[in-house]
Structure 1
Amino acid sequence: MRSHDVTHLQPDLLATAQISLVCKAIAEFSHERLLAPVADGHAWELVSPDGSARYTFTARRHQLEHWVLDRDSLERTVDDTQRPVDVQQFLVEFAPLLGIPEALLPTYLEELASTLASSMWKLGNSTASADDLVHADYQALEAAMTEGHPAFVANNGRIGYGGDDFAAYAPETGNELRLLWVAVRRDKAGLSVGSGLTEESLYRDELGAETLAGFEGTLADLGLDAHDYLYLPLHPWQWVNRVAITFAPDVARRDIVLLGEAPDTFRAQQSIRTFFNTSNPQRHYVKTALAIQNMGFLRGLSPKYMRVTPAINDWVHDLVAADDELRARGFGVLRECAAIGYTGDAFHHLGFTSPYQKMIAALWRESPLPQLRTGERLATMASLLHRDAKGSSLAAAMIAESGVAPAQWLRTYLDAYLRPLVHCLLRYDLAFMPHGENLVMVIEEHVPVRMFMKDIGEEVAVMGGLPLPEEVERIRAAVPADEQSLAIHTDVFDGFFRHLAAILDEDGVLPAADFWSEVRACIERHLADHPELADGAAKHDLLRPTFRHSCLNRLQLRNTLQMVDLTDQAGSLLFAGELANPAAPATVAE
């Protein structure tokens, strides 16, 4: 039955969500130097280009030009009359400064409306406190995340979902679902598997003998031979809204055959189209194609692009497993060990790339649970930036509960997270996409002690001349020398530490200067332990005084439909000058 419930869309929840999102917009657009608030006594002022709208607020500026606004101080006047804060109106008022193409401005406004709707739902339903979440299990913590991406303003667009889809499938609802399975003709599809897997073992281990027998029986009832087909999981939304309509001829030809649900239940992760198996947590995650517009992309999966994903993951896994330093840190990767895609449709006969070629595909990723030791538990690294409904920080609560001094807690965390990334860059010119949602922390006594990296196939890059197998060559990236260190400077320092350092400083847990001193010390300890990497350290110079200011919102504002070219991500970047490096020696906080 379709849900018509909109009880979360309430004036008081909207007012709270609006203030939060406008504060974030001012903070992040100012960080990216799109806006320039002017000091006005003890406050700040921001005036729209036409002079009609005026925003005043108090705020603190941290390193990396990070703004923390006092929510209660924010006021908006229009033509000298006080008006409610409204993020969509804010975007309209400042659009001339933000560089949004007129044709895409309505799309961005729609994404903001959806982000507000998600925020209102979370405000009305997220009751767990930071103290509660310190002890929460992996999936309860995953569903409790309320912020989304810390930098992107429109970070819950989900264009294509209806209200009932949100209620059924949004990660924050914590709902469980069953995936739909289809059979796709073997000669019109491709399945690739990684080391230690075969087609037979993949399906047997993920579905079980009884479900496989049911699938074979469904095909036999239609007069079809199961040996002519491969099995592919689909998001239920994708079947209803895309496959059954857009690929109706393929379904009618029996090139695609609906098999129905498998018995295992799954829960959506923060990435919205990746699912954790709650019936059998030892089984793989399943990542599905999901043709909704969300945060700068239509969330499809390319069969052609994924064909070598298992091989890439095996290569990265083997490199990491063979490295003494990475082993000592317990650093691991969650392999995307199998991928499947259907290519028998008309769209794959086009002479150009289209989102329609990415609508029927899936991959399987290892679960971290079989790799846990006694006394260890899991949490998304994004949780370190989480604040509960009362504004209490989960990171602060974790540190307090651990009983470890904040600087020592941070040192252990940096050795688990930052040091392996620095090592991969200096030794192999190897870069990941290490944002909070892509790291799974292994926690012991409330301290992150080691890390699992995920999203390897789409995100990893080798930026130097390291020899690669032919099937892995796709990950070699031509990145200008002065941009290679952005794998740490942008993705770690600006993308994550900027927020975490401010949270710990604002909450009185650890001064920001001490935070960045620990970051510098972590990098220096690594080099002292690896003098053989001195050339790599000089090449990337992670402690240099400044680094290029790569801007994420500028990418989404430029093209909210596809913010980067995945085949040339470095070439898609937008910069706004340089940022002072807070980890550089003798850096003075602003």
Structure 2
Amino acid sequence: MLFQNEIHEQLNAQDWKEANQQLIAKMLAEYMYEDMIQPEVLHSDGKKRTFELSVPSGKAYQFDAEQRLFDSYDVSKESIVQIDQGVEKEAESAIELLVDLKEIIGMSAETTGHLIKELNATLIADVHLLQKTDRTSEQLLSADYADLEGYMKGHPWITYNKGRIGFGYDEYLRFAPEHQQEVQLSWIAVHNELASFQSVEGVTYERLLEQELSKEERRAFAQEVEKEGHNPEDYYFFPVHEWQWKNQLIQHFPEEIAKKQIIAMGEGNDVYLPQQSIRTFVNKSSTDKHHVKLPMSILNTLVFRGLPSERTLIAPKVTELIKGMYEKDDFLKKECRVILPGENASINVDHKHYSAVKDTPYQYLEMLGAIWRESIYTYVEEGEQAITLAALLHEDHKGTPFIQAMMEASGLEPEEWMKKFYQVVMDPLLHYLYQYGTVFSPHGQNTILVVKNNQPHRLAIKDFVDDVNVTDQQFPELADLSDEMKTVLRTEPPEGLTQFIFTGLFICHLRYLSHLLEKQNLLSEKTFWQLLAESIHHYQERFPELEDRFKLFDFFKPEMTKLCLNRNRMVDYGYADGDDRPHASEYGCVTNALASFKKPSKLTT
């Protein structure tokens, strides 16, 4: 009951100190990047800077950091010391640093209090991850896609990246992806007057159910509905997460449960493994079956992890849009051979009372539904292996980077490996942007790298429903987009659309990969970003007829608007219940390292 064994074993002083020092280094680096703190430079030596940050309490923090491109810093956690009344000691408390920064950053007491809670939850998870020493980076090269996700350490940029507010410690141990606990999903029946089913062409509700449930399961679930005196044909069957059922659905839908409009039917037979997003599950009993995305009303990395109703309703249509572009485009289909695991079906249930209230907090509109996404395993060919892009930032308990092990196993030099990587990743992303005015959010969690012989081979992109956006320009390729699609999908001006790749991939993922490769003496950051620029130029030289769009979506501007992922919670949004999900804050500009590799606009064929 008290988890005394886990607590005594996991939460020990040595690992607690290590987790805190790692987080302090991250906080200093990211708050500097987002211009929330401006420490004084005491002295410089090449790229190395020694900083001092004075705080209102009279203390000061000193630390060393290497200056990186894109206005970034790589802070040395070993160098961080706290000076209090002339006494110097190691800085060991991320929470103390947060409190010391409250006035400097301008956080409210309410925000600071809630953030202490999120940082403590993050630190508890970090301690558990420090003790995950069963597989080295080299051993992870052969890990299954779903298993590999359980080794990831969370968002590289957001400092409160594993807050998971709503979980108790027991639920954290059971449902957090790093614990890799297989779960059976509970199934409910919801009357078709409340629920709506949507699917791509060729997928019916009956066909979906036949694929996901055995005949025996379908019969047993139907009998549960019949026991309550109702006709199973009047209901939609779909899974829910146990946590959501116990903590949200019973409390928010008691009337529907009382009237048997929602009927609990029991667990399905298949076992699933939670992925990085916590709410997406891979079927381990049958890898050909869909991956299932379910709402979980926990607060994690800025938002409640529900399923927005308007996007759940339109998910299959977005899949048809994205795949329709692919099917008619030989470059995407035959050359890139990009993989697009479609969101083939969805069920949405609105809450009749919350949805009737104007400006109701968004989390109450995202509580009940399901999305079925095609399994990545159904696309992977012999000799191929799918890995989450986030894995490229992973370092094992010995400090060996996953990407270093992969490069060594590939037989390629780091520069050659990265050339292949950029071609595989950038070609399809750029083509969707330039040719179709359509962009994904290709961060580490949404993007899957398919390797062959440990070399980059193909790209897979997922999560269309949350992260597909389109241009606000009059592109003929989008002329047939319905008003419904335009309403639900975000339409963005040119820089806004460019930002999904610039910030989503370059800043949010590649920035950290360049730090890692530089630190390991595998590849200089200048070469790293030059190779990226060359991959963009290579694409543009291939399609000179799109030159006007290259200027429209310009990755080589000297500066780009700086989007911030810590600032928006800490300064702009706080923890207020708004009617829409928080979006990245805009604050100042970031120096674009790609600008130095810009070529003259006149393209030659």
Whether these two folds match at TM > 0.5 is yes
State the TM-score, normalizing by the size of structure 1: 0.95
> Could you say if the C-alpha distance between residues 474 and 293 of structure 1 is closer, same or farther in structure 2, counting changes exceeding 3 Å?
same
Distance 1:363 1:482 in 2: 31
Deviates most, 232-241 or 335-344:
335-344
Deviates most, 192-201 or 542-551:
542-551
Matched, 1:440 2:452: no
Distance 1:582 1:75 in 2: 34
Cross-structure match for 1:411: 419
**Contact persistence 1:154–1:295 (CA under 8 A):** yes
Cross-structure match for 2:602: none
Percent of pairs with identical residues: 28
Deviates most, 340-349 or 193-202:
340-349
Distance 2:547 2:98 in 1: 47
Which residue identity does 1:41 align to in structure 2? Answer: H
**Contact persistence 2:573–2:582 (CA under 8 A):** no
Distance 2:582 2:569 in 1: 16
Cross-structure match for 2:502: 489
Cα offset for 1:279?
Answer: 0.4
Cross-structure match for 1:191: 197
Cross-structure match for 2:233: 227
Matched, 1:393 2:406: no
Deviates most, 50-59 or 1-10:
1-10
The SS at the match of 1:157 is coil
Match of 1:336 among 334, 343, 354: 343
Matched, 1:141 2:143: no
Cross-structure match for 1:521: 534
Cross-structure match for 2:62: 56
Which residue identity does 1:116 align to in structure 2? Answer: L
Match of 1:452 among 425, 439, 460: 460
Cross-structure match for 1:381: 389
Distance 1:458 1:375 in 2: 31
Name structure 2 gaps, 5 residues minimum: 600-605
1:191-590 matched pairs, under 5 angstroms: 191-327=197-333, 328-343=335-350, 345-354=352-361, 355-463=363-471, 464-465=473-474, 466-467=478-479, 468-557=481-570, 558-561=572-575, 569=583, 573-582=585-594, 584-585=596-597
Deviations 1:49-87 (A, max 9, x none): 315221112221111122112222111123333454211
Distance 1:123 1:458 in 2: 31
1:73-92 matched pairs, under 5 angstroms: 73-83=79-89, 84-92=91-99
Matched, 1:107 2:114: yes
Cα offset for 1:563?
Answer: 10
> Could you say if the C-alpha distance between residues 561 and 433 of structure 1 is closer, same or farther in structure 2, counting changes exceeding 3 Å?
farther
Cα offset for 1:46?
Answer: 3.1
Deviations 1:166-217 (A, max 9, x none): 1110000011000111111111111111122001001110112111111011
Deviations 1:347-388 (A, max 9, x none): 233344332222111111111111111100111000011111
**Contact persistence 2:310–2:488 (CA under 8 A):** no
Cα offset for 1:568?
Answer: 9.1
Match of 1:34 among 11, 33, 36: 36
Deviates most, 51-60 or 285-294:
51-60
> Could you say if the C-alpha distance between residues 272 and 520 of structure 1 is closer, same or farther in structure 2, counting changes exceeding 3 Å?
same
Cα offset for 1:565?
Answer: 7.4
The SS at the match of 1:136 is coil
Distance 1:101 1:317 in 2: 46
**Contact persistence 2:360–2:579 (CA under 8 A):** no
> Could you say if the C-alpha distance between residues 478 and 342 of structure 1 is closer, same or farther in structure 2, counting changes exceeding 3 Å?
closer
Deviations 1:397-430 (A, max 9, x none): 1111101121111111111112221222122221
Cα offset for 1:21?
Answer: 0.3
Deviates most, 106-115 or 238-247:
238-247
Cross-structure match for 1:15: 17
**Contact persistence 1:555–1:563 (CA under 8 A):** no
Deviations 1:222-249 (A, max 9, x none): 2111011111211111111111233222
Distance 2:377 2:124 in 1: 33
Distance 1:456 1:168 in 2: 28
Which residue identity does 1:11 align to in structure 2? Answer: A
Deviates most, 73-82 or 419-428:
73-82
**Contact persistence 1:247–1:345 (CA under 8 A):** no
**Contact persistence 1:340–1:361 (CA under 8 A):** yes
The SS at the match of 2:142 is coil
Deviations 1:285-341 (A, max 9, x none): 111110111111111113343111111111111112322222211212211111112
Which residue identity does 1:362 align to in structure 2? Answer: A
State the TM-score, normalizing by the size of structure 2: 0.92
Distance 2:3 2:238 in 1: 28
> Could you say if the C-alpha distance between residues 347 and 3 of structure 1 is closer, same or farther in structure 2, counting changes exceeding 3 Å?
farther
